[in-house]
Structure 1
Amino acid sequence: MSDARQFGGDAPRPVAVTHDPDAELGPAERMALFRWKQRYPHTQAFMSEHSFTFDDFQRQACEHIEDGHGVLVAAPTGAGKTIAGEFAVHLATATGKKAFYTTPIKALSNQKYNDLVDRYGLEHVGLLTGDTSINSEAPVVVMTTEVLRNMIYAQSPTLTGLGFVVMDEVHYLADRFRGAVWEEVIIGLADSVQLVALSATVSNAEEFGEWLSEVRGQVDLVVSERRPVPLYQHVLVGRKIHDLFAGEAPTATTDASKVAAHHDVNPALVQVAKQEARTVRDDSRRPRGKRGRGKRAHGHGSGSYGGAAHRSHREKSHFRPPSRGDMIRSLDRADLLPAIVFIFSRQGCDAAVKQVLGSGVELTDAAERAAIIEIVDAHTSGLSPADLAALDADTFTEALLRGVASHHAGMLPAFKECVEECFTKNLIKVVFATETLALGINMPARSVVLEKLVKFNGDIHADITPGEYTQLTGRAGRRGIDTEGHAVVLWQPGLDPRAVAGLASRRTYPLRSSFAPTYNMAVNLVGTVGRGRARTLLEQSFAQYQSDRSVVGGVRTVEKNRRRIEELLAKAACENGDFTEYARLRSKIGELEADAARARKADKRAEALRSVIDLRPGDIIHVPTGRHQGWAVVIDTGVRGSREEPHPQVLTGERHVKRLTMNDFPTPVSPVGRVRIPKRFHPKDAHARRSLFAAFQHRMETIDLRPERWRPGAMDEAVSAEIADLRDQMRAHPCHACPERETHARWGEKAMALERENEKLTARMERRTNTIAASFDRICLVLESLGYLAPLDETSQDEGATAKELTVTAPGRALSRIYNELDLVAAEALRRGVFSGLTAPRLAAVLSTLVYESRRTDSRQRPPRMPDAESQARYDQLRSIHREVGLAERDFRIDRGRDLDLGFAEAAHDWCGGRPLAAVLADTALSAGDFVRWVRQVIDFADQIGKAAALAEDPALRRTCREVSDTMRRGVVAF
């Protein structure tokens, strides 16, 4: 059957061909095709510009857009969903409208900008990122999503004539740090704008599409599970590559879940797992030491490396992951290069490249090396020899010339661009990358290798999810180049092939909103649409939509429980009286007693912590419980910081020096006396311990040791009285004298338990309803208490309004220009003059403390500090403001913002002051790429503070902010 007959629907599928497809069609089909062309002329024209046949989902998406609808396209990585976004741009240019193409990261923006420039010309395409502005008033503009959000809040005139917004990688709205921006844009765009959302395959695409339709009008959902290049799954054991599944691997028309349903895990891999387990068991039974397993056994017997020890070594080496050089050779022999090897560590990626360099692997020929040199020269020609030396460009280039590179967020942008261009031109064969490469950047490979299936998620080392596995392996298979893609997992000790099969066969990647109101969002919304309208908009967020949908299940549970309660109470019916009433009295008494016990425990815990923190060396206390229960004298309070529990060191009545924890203090302690601790007292000095113990014993003889001085009090008197009153009512109730009372009570207790469950469910559902708006209200209260929002004149308030209307004050307008996680702290600092009067380098240092966040892997020879006394004084002021804002947030039940971080202050100061790159990098633990990224963040923040300073009528500060931007945007930062 010809391509033209595969169209489906009302007409044969139109394709770009050199001959006339109409000649192959019958009269009815030609008429249907004619009607389709009449209805979708722009889709037909766009398809004719491409040399390949559109997939059904691509054509359908274009048709929906031409029909005037929004569209959500969810498809696997590499399936070609960007066709829908490019068609929106095509339709905008054909109809005289503007199109904005938004991306989550600058690298993807740059890539898409270059693609569109190639198609439409330099004069028709613009680029807006945090530090780049090119042709911003062009009819087609590529930008990061934050830029569009800021334009919406600022009511920028650039939005005039906007007809289409493409949101590439829209599933990024699940990102807990930046995801809220996507929802702000979706909610804030004018109704006239058509939204084209491009997403990876998510399991709740229907839910997301339904929400988009609610807030944007009709948004059609187009989902494709079909990979354009079929994906085969493998496991590399030692140097041998095994298929993961037995039998046939997936084709382009099947997905991994269907393969898993019809094919078992490869028996060879199951056998490897069993063999490995047996080897481990055998090793565990072998004696250790000189007569057991060890180097001496290798030469036992004939003097050569043989026998049982040799076999054991071969078995163990079979299970060990191969060296990086051997891994690449195995992939090369299997014709699986080029490959992307995912390593969930920046340092791990760089170390892997060095290992490959040391292994002697060379994957390029002379022509490829010459082409690589040209690309490197083009991307680094603007860097000085000193900068290139500081960046160790020689090692980077040597690796590229061997056909190997790393790719991660810590790299210099120019180096990353070299890697991306070389890889897409098939000049380098192996890239060791972190998972950030899987986000949108167009770098597909023939195969993807996962060295481990565990990664650090910011808190712990956790197994990667099926969604992450799908996202990473989606890079395998180059459309139009490869007939198949390959995912390879390296065998690690303890690997379960069935678990790998589970990852490969599950497509569970639900999209969960990370949206939450912020101070900046609040003043911008109140300033543009008013508080009432702002609440309404926030209630339309995807976060609220998902929360409300979750209430549906709760409602069903409540109704089911209600019916069961009726049945139970019917069984508990008593001839003497209303047993339901009696059961509720008993239940209330039990609840009050339990609550009182919990309250006492919680209060005692808090009091205990406070009492231990307040201890001083020399205090004599009674340790309430634990192995060291009894009298003791405090040697050291063990208070190390506000975030750590105290661990006091004491001398016990048994003359032991012990370090205690809060587990030893379930109740508060109160000193009953004191002894003097010598200034030079050392706990390990036996004579000093004896002297202190003698003084302790002597002091104990003079102290009043009555228990009421140090034992906790009794139950709250009011609660005790209420319980006594309820007990009197219970005894007086007619059901109390029923001979079947306890039998009835068993049914009643079950009913009361379900009633309590219903009360909790109902309260939880009420909390979930309007949760976003309620959070917004609390944020508004903080802003009102600090003077960033103020009530409108009472006469202008609408009757029946759920919340009073507010207006944005002058400080609030300054806050509206600050887009920072600590936006309110920054606004307060601006308001109080913390940033004023500083030199540019000192200002850069102070601003960096509000921007920078240390990585857990940062290693420093000394603790970070501010560069001089003046910047330290301003930093101390910032800390004070941070504490004040934190107290206000606590009072209004808002999660406190992150701490300030002075880890980049000296680097920011020195770079702004003109210090050379090599010298600055030598004094910081940061990679060159991270250094450039944080400098650009400081520059962007300085620009924000400068704009806010203009609104705050502080022209001197605005000039200094400009100086910060100008002086820091040099060398590798400007390149």
Structure 2
Amino acid sequence: MAEGENDQFLFDLLQIGCNGNVEVIPVQPKKDTKVPTLPLKTLPNGIPPVLPELNEDLEKLLTCLDDLPIHDINRAQRFWPREKQPERLYSVDICPVQTTIQVERNPTTGQLIGFKESFIPDMGKSSNNSLSLRRSPSVNYQDIRGNTINYPFWPGGMDEPILENLNQEESQMEINLTTDLLNTAPNMPSGMTFEKKKTESVEVLPVESEMKLTTLVDIMALDDIDDLDLGDSDGEDTNDSIIEQNIVDDDSKPKDEMLENLVKVVKEADEDKVKLPPPKPKEWAVCVDTKSPVDDFYKKIPVMAKTWPFEPDVFQKQAILHLENNDSVFVAAHTSAGKTVIAEYAIALSLKHMTKTIYTSPIKALSNQKYRDFKQTFDDVGLVTGDVQLNQTASCLIMTTEILRSMLYNGSDVIRDLEWVIFDEVHYINDSERGVVWEEVLIMLPDHCNVILLSATVPNTVEFANWVGQIKRKKIYVISTQKRPVPLEHYLYTGNSNKTSNELFLLIDDKGNFLTNGYKKALEAKKERASKRSQNFGAKVNRGANPSQEKNIWLSVIEMLKSKDQLPAVAFTFSKKKIDENAYHLQSLDLTSSSEKNEIHVFFQKSINKLKGSDKSLPQVILMADMLKRGVGVHHSGILPILKEVVEMLFGRGLVKILFSTETFAMGVNMPARTVVFDSIRKHDGTNFRNLLPGEYIQMAGRAGRRGIDTTGTVIILCKGDVPEAAELHKMMLGKPTKLESQFRLTYSMILNLLRVEQLRVEDMMKRSFSEFHAQKDVSQHKEALATLNKSIAVIKDIECFTCCVDLEKYFEACSQYLRLKRDLQLLILTHPIALKSLSPGRIIIINNSQLKFALGVILNTYTGTHNERLFTVLVLSEKGVDYTSEDVKSVMNGIKVRPVLTKKLYEPEGPCWHSLATIRGDDIDVITVKTIKVEADKIISDVKKRQQDRFKDNPPSKSVSVVAQELIRLTQANPQGLKGLDPVKDFRIKDIDYIEQFRSLQFLEESFGEYNCIHCPLFDEHFEQIRGNMELKNEYKRLVHLLSDDSLILLPEYQQRMEVLRSLNYTNDQNTVQLKGRVACEISTHELIITELVFENVLTDLHPADIAAILSCMVFEQKRCSEPNLTTELEKGRDHILKIAENVSRLQKEHGILTAEDYAETFKFGLMEVVFEWARGLPFSEITKLTDVQEGIIVRCIQRLHETLRDVRNAARIIGDPVLYQKMEEASNIIKRDIVFAASLYTQ
């Protein structure tokens, strides 16, 4: 305030209340002054005396409650009476018509007979409540991708529920009031049960009369066997009476014989029950003969949907015949064999039938190429990619497999008219990241869609076709080619200069023969040059080549190919950096004529003419123009997409003579060369360096040889260092290609998309995956076997023995557990070096198996069996005339046969003691004793085998055999309870905690066997055999039930764990109903959990669109190493927030036991945040490339994928009703969609 202005405001003091408080108040100025007036905050003269005292107010409030403000009528809610409008009841919305009038005609004459009213099925069904193809179209039926609120169409191969079937099942359903009634209400954590508590052990045995048991004493006391009661006497079950009829056939038989017959009949019945006939599995794949010519091809198809100027091959004709029959086919053909012909005929058929065909490819670049190729043949072709939609209503739509998956999940109405789905490059299903998409699409396709699978040659085509046929329940016809249309010749090149350019050695000829002489010549050439170098410069180990040597090698190779007229050539190199270096070193190379240079220049300038001025002068554009004029091309992911298309088109014209490329160029691109050169046969697969797989080598080498131009294709491997091993070359070149293997895995997006539709189950998706094929292909056979077992189990009778009925079944389970645990421990011991050393000839052991029950034996020999199991030849005591065969050894793979484990008393022959050889397994050894004796093993084995022959069987045993046999007799008689065994912990020094715990459990079980009552039964052996037959049936029943249930699915535990994560994050509720967060996650195609959490935590709403684009760039950028970006404060906060959410999700996954939980903190790469931020702010592309060392092509790819992610988040904002976020995401996606990053593809122009 300026000096002199403070006297304009006049203040005074005012006493407030009765406590002496004072406030400063302004004094009102006179009317003629211009001093501003300040508002009064208090009464100018204090509290008026008319106000009551505080005591009076308090007494009034306490005594008269009606005066409280809550009872003030002026503060009450006001009500306006509703205006009556009865005329609104006169109009009612029209319900959909449920019936229609149909004409009845005479089927012979067609004469009108009358009319009838019939029910219209699927009335009222829409895309929001039905999976039927007969439902009404969705509101946005022109939206090719569908909508996340739509239901998908019912997947083919699944049993679609029909109303009549459901009603029939309900009418036939029998409700068990004991087991089928639920005791927990929906949404309640627990319920109430009315069952009586079951006691774990039975101490007091019930009375015999109450148990209705027949004991041995009762049977012996009967006068007539007819009085024997074998259980229920109602006589309704005829199967139960079979045994009784067999017993009472002859009354004159004594009672003991009748009992024996009873046991015999039960045993025979049990044996019959176990022996089930093996059912034959159904084959869905049909192999088509492509060796024999199709003579009547044109008779079967007089008017073809499409013709070609050449005669189709046999495999093409076979495929066309099946397409005409509306069959699905799997074509596995060599590279450049002509698989595209089959795809073209399917498109022509759909045009003829006025239906649609979808052609799917693994990568976007291949989709663009196929669009151009098919556009030259057909007029009605469309392209649908992440950022381009051309002619979406066309009869033939080309797209990536991910887009087709989105259409299937979102119930796109395009699926209604779909006749063919063509899957190109099916071997891409082996891709660990994207292979699951192929399986999802094949499973979700409706039944009316036929599939055409196109693939390179793979060894398990029939297996894959069987899987597709099983899940779709239709035959798949497998068509394969026997050989390449253009044979290949494989060479080794050891030269390093123009002087040695003739060092080209044929390794595999055009007939596929591996030439050892060629390999030896390559070795000799390398060895000779190395010896000359060592003489001139001294010994030197040379495993590779320096940049100068690399240049000389490539110049010599190209010069050699040029002289032999073997250009154009593709040089596959597995490093982008090395490709750029090779192209840079060949600046002096010129392979084109002046006319070719002019043609290249015109095409190049025309291609980049639509780019912005600064984009035309990018360093990569200028460098590429110079290289292409000289006939040199570069093709890898770091090159700008428009430049890669220029290279591809010029190579297709034959103007690019040498093309340095990564293996992506071999992915489906129909651009064969005359020669293929491998810079190396080793590559880094993301984990480590390895040799090329046979499938990878065949795919790349298959680019050599142009059909109709070249008689053979040439494949050359450069030997810059040492010549590769012959075995490695043979395996890579002539080995079997990689099998098609399932890469199916659960994703949160898949789970949520299936959970939002009540009729679909995630378990059904897992059952139909390729990974579960072998487990699910025998389901029908398992069901038949289960029905047979049900009948067998229904006639099982309990053992009617007072002694055995108490604990015989528990004893059987204990024996089973004991033998299983014993086998596991013995097998573990047999892998321990000290234990193996102790099992040498002369060691006394105790044997316990089905033939030798707790018998002493001495080891004579140890060897390995046919199943790689360790077997022992032992000498054991036996009764004379008894020969122990190796029956148990033969059935080693059939599992454990449960036998009774009785108290351990050493076996001693009852009659004259004899000896015999026995072959036993490791798990037959019950105890490895501390005792050893001296044996002459070879002599003993030879003598015993000699006396097994008829002419020597009366010879007395040799001295070596007699000494050992007498020692076994002495030890048996002196130690009837067994010999002391070696302690696994002390003697074998086994320190594994798990083993020690299992060993203690085994000892506890062993000590408990003497406490069972059933072992005292006089008919224990017969009863044990009977209970074993019964338990085998029950165990087999449990096994089949398990195989037919969801519990047998490999991925079921992971699914349950992921569901716990989704519940914890509130994506689903306890009843697995998808919540709002789950619906939002269905809109997101990448990192759905992280982006959804960002949306719901309101991280993006307050940010600028450029900041949003920069933050979300980490979701699509994948390069591991790049320069560190300079981030603003807002970007750093966004990065930290993403890492915080990622750590929370990762923690939740680990808490719920997901062992394969992604390390989200390592998944996100923030290297392009600064680049995307400046690009969104409008900086030219030439400027943003200076902010990072990431190559231009990767930047473009990242921004293109980011545009799709921003669109996904925009749709998520629409679902949650956030207009601010919706507008910002729309703006963010628009500001990055410009210039060279989103330049139109040359294939679409």
Match of 1:270 in 2: 520
Match of 2:1139 in 1: 879
Amino acid of the structure 2 residue aligned with 1:477? G
Amino acid of the structure 1 residue aligned with 2:1078? G
| Contact 1:539 1:772 survives alignment (8 Å) | no
Counterpart of 1:772 (choices 1037, 1051, 1057) is 1051
Match of 1:647 in 2: none
| Contact 1:232 1:249 survives alignment (8 Å) | yes
Deviation at 1:344, TM superposition (A): 0.2
Residue 573 (1) aligns with residue 573 (2): no
Residue 235 (1) aligns with residue 514 (2): no
Counterparts of 1:210-221 in structure 2 under 5 Å? 210-216=466-472, 217-221=474-478
Match of 2:459 in 1: 203
* Cα-to-partner distance string for 1:442-473 (whole Å, 9 max, x where unaligned): 22100100010100110111111111110110
| Contact 1:344 1:434 survives alignment (8 Å) | yes
Q: Alpha carbons of 1:154 and 1:268: their partners in 2 closer, same or farther (altered >3 Å)?
A: closer
Match of 2:1192 in 1: 928
Q: Alpha carbons of 1:767 and 1:591: their partners in 2 closer, same or farther (altered >3 Å)?
A: farther
Deviation at 1:433, TM superposition (A): 0.3
Counterpart of 1:942 (choices 1206, 1209, 1212) is 1206
Q: Alpha carbons of 1:318 and 1:183: their partners in 2 closer, same or farther (altered >3 Å)?
A: closer
Counterpart of 2:1226 (choices 939, 942, 962) is 962
Give me the whole-angstrom Cα distance separating, in 1, the residues matched to 2:747 and 2:1191.
Answer: 31
| Contact 2:902 2:1009 survives alignment (8 Å) | no
Deviation at 1:154, TM superposition (A): 1.1
| Contact 2:568 2:656 survives alignment (8 Å) | yes
Amino acid of the structure 2 residue aligned with 1:385? G
Q: How many residue pairs end up in the alignment?
A: 738
Give me the whole-angstrom Cα distance separating, in 2, the residues matched to 1:314 and 1:769.
Answer: 56
Counterpart of 2:1157 (choices 896, 902, 906) is 896
| Contact 2:1125 2:1188 survives alignment (8 Å) | no
Give me the whole-angstrom Cα distance separating, in 2, the residues matched to 1:144 and 1:785.
Answer: 34
Q: Alpha carbons of 1:125 and 1:492: their partners in 2 closer, same or farther (altered >3 Å)?
A: same
Deviation at 1:180, TM superposition (A): 0.9
Amino acid of the structure 2 residue aligned with 1:55? D
Deviation at 1:944, TM superposition (A): 1.0
Q: What secondary structure sits across from 2:1236 in the alignment?
A: coil
Amino acid of the structure 1 residue aligned with 2:581? A
Counterparts of 1:319-718 in structure 2 under 5 Å? 322-357=552-587, 360-495=588-723, 496-528=725-757, 530=759, 532=761, 534-545=762-773, 569-570=849-850, 572-574=852-854, 598=992
Moved more, 430-439 or 719-728: 719-728
Percent identity (aligned): 28
Q: Alpha carbons of 1:809 and 1:378: their partners in 2 closer, same or farther (altered >3 Å)?
A: same
Counterpart of 1:105 (choices 341, 344, 363) is 363
Q: What secondary structure sits across from 1:972 in the alignment?
A: helix
Match of 1:786 in 2: 1065
Counterparts of 1:681-760 in structure 2 under 5 Å? none
* Cα-to-partner distance string for 1:911-947 (whole Å, 9 max, x where unaligned): 1111121221111111110010011111111111111
| Contact 2:507 2:519 survives alignment (8 Å) | no
What runs of 5+ residues in structure 2 fail to find an aligned partner? 1-288, 496-500, 780-815, 825-846, 857-898, 905-923, 929-980, 1013-1040, 1240-1245
Counterpart of 2:406 (choices 150, 162, 166) is 150
| Contact 1:834 1:878 survives alignment (8 Å) | no
Higher helix fraction (1 or 2): 1
* Cα-to-partner distance string for 1:221-279 (whole Å, 9 max, x where unaligned): 11113211111111112012534337x532xxxxx3xx24xxx32x2431331564587
Question: TM-score when scaled to structure 2?
Answer: 0.55
Counterparts of 1:249-328 in structure 2 under 5 Å? 249-250=510-511, 256=512, 259-260=513-514, 264-265=515-516, 267-274=517-524, 276=526, 308-309=535-536, 322-328=552-558
* Cα-to-partner distance string for 1:860-901 (whole Å, 9 max, x where unaligned): 2xx345x22222222222222111111221123322224322
| Contact 2:1200 2:1238 survives alignment (8 Å) | no
Q: Alpha carbons of 1:590 and 1:332: their partners in 2 closer, same or farther (altered >3 Å)?
A: farther
| Contact 1:589 1:727 survives alignment (8 Å) | no
Deviation at 1:766, TM superposition (A): 11
* Cα-to-partner distance string for 1:299-336 (whole Å, 9 max, x where unaligned): xxxxxxxxx41798999999977522222111111221
Give me the whole-angstrom Cα distance separating, in 2, the residues matched to 1:361 and 1:527.
Answer: 61
Give me the whole-angstrom Cα distance separating, in 1, the residues matched to 2:849 and 2:530.
Answer: 59
Q: Alpha carbons of 1:765 and 1:592: their partners in 2 closer, same or farther (altered >3 Å)?
A: farther
| Contact 2:543 2:721 survives alignment (8 Å) | no
Amino acid of the structure 2 residue aligned with 1:815? A
Residue 849 (1) aligns with residue 1128 (2): no
Residue 173 (1) aligns with residue 438 (2): no
Q: Alpha carbons of 1:85 and 1:76: their partners in 2 closer, same or farther (altered >3 Å)?
A: same
Deviation at 1:851, TM superposition (A): 2.2
Deviation at 1:392, TM superposition (A): 3.1
Q: Alpha carbons of 1:565 and 1:784: their partners in 2 closer, same or farther (altered >3 Å)?
A: closer
Q: What secondary structure sits across from 1:166 in the alignment?
A: strand
| Contact 2:1057 2:1153 survives alignment (8 Å) | yes
| Contact 1:101 1:140 survives alignment (8 Å) | yes
What RMSD in Å do the two structures reach over aligned CA positions? Answer: 4.0
* Cα-to-partner distance string for 1:668-704 (whole Å, 9 max, x where unaligned): xxxxxxxxxxxxxxxxxxxxxxxxxxxxxxxxxxxxx
Deviation at 1:67, TM superposition (A): 0.9
| Contact 1:104 1:169 survives alignment (8 Å) | yes
Moved more, 191-200 or 781-790: 781-790
| Contact 1:592 1:723 survives alignment (8 Å) | no
* Cα-to-partner distance string for 1:338-372 (whole Å, 9 max, x where unaligned): 00000001111111111111xx2211111111111
Give me the whole-angstrom Cα distance separating, in 2, the residues matched to 1:211 and 1:428.
Answer: 43
Give me the whole-angstrom Cα distance separating, in 1, the residues matched to 2:358 and 2:331.
Answer: 17
Structure with bigger gyration radius: 2
Question: TM-score when scaled to structure 1?
Answer: 0.70
Give me the whole-angstrom Cα distance separating, in 1, the residues matched to 2:429 and 2:538.
Answer: 53
What runs of 5+ residues in structure 1 fail to find an aligned partner? 1-5, 15-32, 251-255, 284-292, 294-307, 552-557, 602-714, 734-761, 793-805
Q: What secondary structure sits across from 1:420 in the alignment?
A: helix
* Cα-to-partner distance string for 1:589-610 (whole Å, 9 max, x where unaligned): 9999999955599xxxxxxxxx
Amino acid of the structure 2 residue aligned with 1:75? A
Give me the whole-angstrom Cα distance separating, in 1, the residues matched to 2:325 and 2:353.
Answer: 13
Counterpart of 1:828 (choices 1093, 1109, 1114) is 1093
Amino acid of the structure 2 residue aligned with 1:102? T
Give me the whole-angstrom Cα distance separating, in 2, the residues matched to 1:909 and 1:730.
Answer: 76
| Contact 2:903 2:1010 survives alignment (8 Å) | no
* Cα-to-partner distance string for 1:450-508 (whole Å, 9 max, x where unaligned): 01010011011111111111011011111222222111111232223453233221233
Amino acid of the structure 2 residue aligned with 1:366? S
Deviation at 1:142, TM superposition (A): 0.6
Residue 61 (1) aligns with residue 319 (2): yes
Q: Alpha carbons of 1:456 and 1:570: their partners in 2 closer, same or farther (altered >3 Å)?
A: same
Q: Alpha carbons of 1:345 and 1:772: their partners in 2 closer, same or farther (altered >3 Å)?
A: same
Q: Alpha carbons of 1:88 and 1:504: their partners in 2 closer, same or farther (altered >3 Å)?
A: same
Give me the whole-angstrom Cα distance separating, in 1, the residues matched to 2:294 and 2:1184.
Answer: 65
Deviation at 1:518, TM superposition (A): 0.5
Give me the whole-angstrom Cα distance separating, in 2, the residues matched to 1:387 and 1:924.
Answer: 17
Match of 2:295 in 1: 12
| Contact 1:586 1:730 survives alignment (8 Å) | no
Match of 1:798 in 2: none
Match of 1:797 in 2: none
Amino acid of the structure 2 residue aligned with 1:813? R
Residue 838 (1) aligns with residue 1090 (2): no
Q: Alpha carbons of 1:453 and 1:318: their partners in 2 closer, same or farther (altered >3 Å)?
A: closer
Amino acid of the structure 1 residue aligned with 2:586? V
